[in-house]
Amino acid sequence: MKNTFAAISTGLTNSGISIVRMCGRDSVNIIDKVFKSKNGKKIEGQKSHTIHYGFIYDNDKVLDEVLVMYMKGPNSYTGEDTIEVNCHGGVLVTRKILEVLIKSGARAAEPGEFTKTAFLNGKIDLSRAEAVMDVINAKNDFALSASVKQLNGKVSEIIKKLREKIIYEIAYIESALDDPEHYNIDGYSEKLRTIIEEQIIIINDLLKTFDSGKILKEGINTVILGKPNAGKSSLLNLLIGEERAIVTDIEGTTRDILEESIIVNGIQLNIIDTAGIRDTVEAVEKIGVERAVKYAKKADLILYVVDSSRNLDESDERIIELLREKQVIILLNKTDLNIVTDENVMRDRLDKKIISISAKQNIGIDDLENEIRDMFFEGKIEFNDEVYITNSRHISELQSAKDSLVMVLNSIDNSMPEDFYSIDMMSVYEHLGKIIGEAVEEDLVNEIFEKFCMGK
């Protein structure tokens, strides 16, 4: 395939400007075929990291007035010659500029090929490459902060330090086995035990960040549950700040699942409003109830909305049985009316956090937000220097590395020969290396970059 590729790097929508990016050793030659600068100079021979004003042509036809940025490899994002055409932001003109570059010798880029090229050329490691897409996809402040730290190499730095210590000890063991006269390994096992235990502590600290990091990155999957007319849809509308769900006095108004994502004090809630749970023979409503139960079983958090102006009934009892092993906040709604079911009544049936609210009067919502923060993040979320692991692939490799470290400790406890240590330590080294892209399989690299957006 042609080794020079091009893609549109900005969104395909009408805007102020668009950028068409091209990378590869023929980039300069191709752009000089279609670009005429105002001063008549070609890009060939120009200094790196310069911008040139002129026009893009398709044969003799002017396509657009543009600015062309030239970045000469290896001092570019990809490590290779890179051209960026900054044109007017119309969808049609942007596509035509890409088409003329392809017609002149480039090929259409694959998803993530610019970043993949940067990785293959050693400009960034694999964990930093993955962080590029995380930055693009970040939906809240924490996700952005965690992704930027990874992009800046915070995760890579920790992994590289762990690997340096491991490979040093492997080399020491191999040297001692090959040249016992010059390398003394008397008492070495206990020294190695201390090193391995320190490594396990560091990896455990990283592993512990995953659950909260994943929730903060992807959001808390939150299901609103309750019997018909408890005020679930009113609560959803209040939380998202608009009339998203239909609210009536007729029971069973909500038949299907409604999904919304909101940010509450820096916490992303992926909210699902469900059909009211009750026994029903109506076919559509019955499907809605079944879906409500299914989503409740998978939820990170359930907001159980109770109509405090009515007594608990069979529908409430059915819901209560679903919630005993779940993270639940009970919301005693309609406290602006005459209260029949109070906190004492509710606590006798289900021992969970209870908050009195009125979705209609906007009462108690601040208490709900604070309780979510307390429940998941011990009352605070700080965007400090702590590194959070938010990537499932990374957590898998860290766990495998830890398992191999434990095997080294077992070998020490069982007084096994030193060469047994190095076998498991090399496994640690390789698992950690897969996080940053050392000795990683080509299929995995391709799979990772296939998830990237085009032009990045």
User: Tens digit of pLDDT for each residue in 346-365?
Assistant: 888 888 899 998 888 888 88
Give me the half-sphere count of Cα atoms (radius 13 Å) on the Cβ side of residue 166. Answer: 28
- The answer to whether domain 5-109 and domain 226-377 are alike in fold is no
The three-class DSSP label of residue 47 is: coil
pLDDT computed for residue 284 by the predictor: 61
pLDDT computed for residue 382 by the predictor: 53
Question: Which two tokens mark 132?
Answer: 């590029």
Please enumerate in sequence order all residues whose Cβ is within 8 A of that of 139, keeping only pairs 6 or more positions apart, or say none.
Answer: 219, 261, 268
pLDDT computed for residue 266 by the predictor: 67
β partners of residue 22: 6, 83
Task: Give 30's pLDDT tier (boundaries 50, 70, 90).
Answer: very high
Q: Spell out where 194-352 has E strands.
A: 220-225, 258-264, 267-273, 301-307, 328-333
- The dotted CATH code for 5-109 is 3.30.1360.120
Q: In what order do the strands lie in the sheet with 301-307?
A: 258-264, 267-273, 220-225, 301-307, 328-333, 353-356
Phi, psi of 71 (to 5 degrees): -125, 115
Pairing of the two strands 82-89 and 15-23 = antiparallel
- What's the mean per-residue pLDDT of the chain? 86
Which run of H or E residues covers position 14?
Answer: none
pLDDT computed for residue 237 by the predictor: 82
Please enumerate in sequence order all residues whose Cβ is within 8 A of that of 136, keeping only pairs 6 or more positions apart, or say none.
Answer: 453, 456
pLDDT tens-digit series, residues 374-415: 777 664 555 556 788 888 899 999 999 999 999 999 999 998
Question: How far from each other are the two terminal CA atoms of the chain, in whole angstroms?
Answer: 19
Q: Which stretch of 102-111, 115-124, 153-162, 410-419 has the lowest confidence by average pLDDT? A: 410-419
List the chain domain ranges.
5-109, 132-214+391-450, 226-377
pLDDT computed for residue 152 by the predictor: 87
pLDDT computed for residue 50 by the predictor: 96
User: How many other β-carbons are positioned within 10 Å of the β-carbon of residue 351?
Assistant: 11
Residue 134 clears pLDDT 80, i.e. is over it: yes
pLDDT computed for residue 451 by the predictor: 84
How far apart are the C-alpha atoms of 441 and 448, rounded to whole Å?
11
Asked whether 322 and 274 are in contact (CB, 8 A), the reply is no
pTM of the predicted protein model: 0.74
- The dotted CATH code for 226-377 is 3.40.50.300
Q: 442 vs 170, which has greater pLDDT?
A: 170
pLDDT tens-digit series, residues 32-58: 999 999 999 999 999 999 999 999 999
As a 3-state breakdown, the chain gives helix, strand, coil percent values, each rounded to 5, of: 45, 20, 35
Task: Give 256's pLDDT tier (boundaries 50, 70, 90).
Answer: low
Nearest Cα neighbor of 237 from 278, 275, 271, 285 is 271
CATH 3.40.50.300 holds for 132-214+391-450:
no
